[in-house]
Amino acid sequence: MTYRIDITVNGQAQQLEVEPQHTLLRVLRERLGLTGAKNACATGECGACSVLVNGELVTACLVLVVECHEAEVVTIEGLAQTDETMAALQQAFLDHNGAQCGFCTSGMLMSAAALLKRTSRPDEEEIRANLVGNLCRCTGYADIIKSVQVASRMRRTEH
């Protein structure tokens, strides 16, 4: 049995027929071709699938797509094009080696963007507390913290 939902993804409103047991992550990746969010654990423990639903950061692997009826979903692909905060983060990650293999990066950037939208100049303690849900095996996190700090300063000087 399928359900019809109205969902806006990266600003584009659409209607989808979905299975009730399918996760938002699966639909984003397989139906909509938005493969930026990754499936690394399927149990909400690693953060690689982080997206925004109605402005709130969630692990898409634990959200049923039917819960997103009439919701606005934003993925890394959405922010990558147009969002100033994300642009600052991307430049900072590039300049300061915030990504190595890149698999955790989409989720890490989403978490960092969500943080910077709430707190314009977080200190290191706040950065750590807000990114603790994103596992990274390659960088050892130091370059990520530096990148987020640089990005937050970049944004401030723009305003």
Partner 1 sequence: MVARKPHILGKPFPRVEGQSKLTGAFRYVDDIGFDSDLLHVRLLHSPHAHARILNIDASAAQSLPGVHVVITGRDIEGRLGMNLHDRRVLAKDRVRYVGEPVAAIAAESPEIAEHAVELIRVEYEPLPGVFTVEASVADGATLIHPELETYARGEFVFPAPGTNVNQNCYFSQGNLEKGWANAAVVLERTYRSPHVHHVSMEPHGGVAQLEADGTVTMWASTQAPFLQRHLISQALGLAPDQLRVITWGVGGGFGGKVLVSIEAIVVALALRAGGRPVKLVLSRSEEFTSTFVRPGLVARIKMGAGADGRLTAVEAHYSWDCGASGDATADIAWATAYVGTGPYRIPNLQITSRSVYTNHPPSGQMRGNGMAEVHWAIEQHIDALARKLGWDAVAFRLHNAVKGGDLILDGRVMHATGLDQCIRHAADAIWSAKTMGRRPAAHKRRGKGLAAMWNAVILRAQSESFASVELTPEGVCLIGIGGVDVGQGVYTLAVQLAASELGLSPDRVQVSPIDTGASPQEWQGQSSHLTLSTGNAILKAAHAAKGQILEFVAGGWNEPIGNLDIVEASVISYASERSIALTALLSEGMVMTDGTRQRRGFRGEGRFTPPKATMPVAGGQPIPPVLHFTVGAMATEVEVDSETGEVKVLRAASAFDVGNAINPDIVRSQIRGGAMQGLSVALLEHLIYDDGVPLNATFLDYRLATIQDLPQSLEPIIVEVPQDTGPYGARGVGEHSLIPAAPAVANAVYDAVGVRVETLPITGERVWQAMNVNFDAEEREPARNLPASTSS
Q: Which residues of this chain interact with partner 1, rule CB under 8 A?
A: 29, 33-43, 45-46, 48, 75-77, 80, 89-90, 93-95, 97, 99-106, 109, 127-129, 131-145
| Helical (H) or strand (E) element with 71 | strand 71-74
- Looking at the Cβ atoms of 5 and 134, the one nearer to partner 1 is 134
What minimum distance in Å lies between the beta carbon of 121 and partner 1?
18
Q: Which residues pair with 7 in a beta bridge?
A: 14, 71
What minimum distance in Å lies between the beta carbon of 120 and partner 1?
20
d(CA 92, CA 41): 27
- Looking at the Cβ atoms of 117 and 133, the one nearer to partner 1 is 133
What minimum distance in Å lies between the beta carbon of 2 and partner 1?
14
- Looking at the Cβ atoms of 5 and 110, the one nearer to partner 1 is 110
| DSSP letters spanning 101-158 | S-TTHHHHHHHHHHHHHH-SS--HHHHHHHHTTS--SSS-SHHHHHHHHHHHHHHHHH
What minimum distance in Å lies between the beta carbon of 34 and partner 1?
7
- Looking at the Cβ atoms of 8 and 32, the one nearer to partner 1 is 32
| DSSP letters spanning 85-102 | HHHHHHHHHHHTT--SS-
